[in-house]
Amino acid sequence: MTEKEKTLISKLWSATTININGYHKPTSPKKFEKAKLQFLKDFTVDITKNPEYLIQLLEIAHKEKADQHDVTNVLYIASTFKVLSEEFVDILITLLQETWHYGHESIVWALQEIKSPRTVDILYETAIVKVPYLDYDDTGHNSLRLHCIWALGEINTPEAKEKLKLLAQSDIPILKEKATYVLRNGNIGPML
């Protein structure tokens, strides 16, 4: 990703604020829409017409492993402009298995949005593994785990339900509680 692209993404991020639940909300809809239009005007390509460019950026990030935030930044743009699709799944599965970046939760959010049955196994595996940069306490791991459970619940195939049943038998209390809740209620309920 070029420095210009990083700067443009940073400008778009600055048009948002993060509320206490961790979701990115526009400071004002008008300001955010204006920022989005400016981004599309200035960015390398119109990603609404060529979302494959974002896949290429993820592939470059994977190859170069130069900036730990590239994955999160690219997925922020893909989500903001609603261009996530099945075409992203292969690179996202690959990136979710790697530890050089800080984008695991962003990847899981993207997979939740895509809802591909092909992601059931990796979501299950991610729910039970510890990612080194989240080792400061269980809060980071629990957030990632909950998003994996939520994604599995939204995929809602027989295979996803089987993985949720396995998670409901986990020795990790939050996994057990939330997977059981999703199996009973069809949603994750309160996050923590």
pLDDT tens digits for range 137-159: 666 678 888 899 999 999 999 99
83 and 31, same structural domain?
yes
186 and 139, same structural domain?
yes
pLDDT score recorded for residue 32? 86
pLDDT score recorded for residue 116? 97
136 and 172, same structural domain?
yes
119 and 94, same structural domain?
no
Residue 51 scores a pLDDT above 60: yes
In the predicted model, what is the mean pLDDT of residues 87-110?
Answer: 95
What is the residue range of 150's domain? 115-192
Residue 19 scores a pLDDT above 60: no
36 and 1, same structural domain?
yes
Q: Long-range CB contacts (< 8 A, 24+ apart) of 154-158?
A: 154/112, 154/115, 155/115, 155/116, 155/117, 155/119, 155/120, 155/123, 156/186, 157/117, 157/120
CA distances in angstroms from 156 to 8, 116, 138, 170, 171, listed in the order given: 36, 10, 27, 19, 23
pLDDT score recorded for residue 140? 60
75 and 12, same structural domain?
yes
In the predicted model, what is the mean pLDDT of residues 29-50?
Answer: 92
122 and 172, same structural domain?
yes
Note the maximum CA span of the chain: 50
In the predicted model, what is the mean pLDDT of residues 95-111?
Answer: 93
124 and 91, same structural domain?
no
Q: Picking from 9-13, 137-141, 164-168, which range would have the lowest pLDDT averaged per residue?
A: 137-141
DSSP code at position 180: H
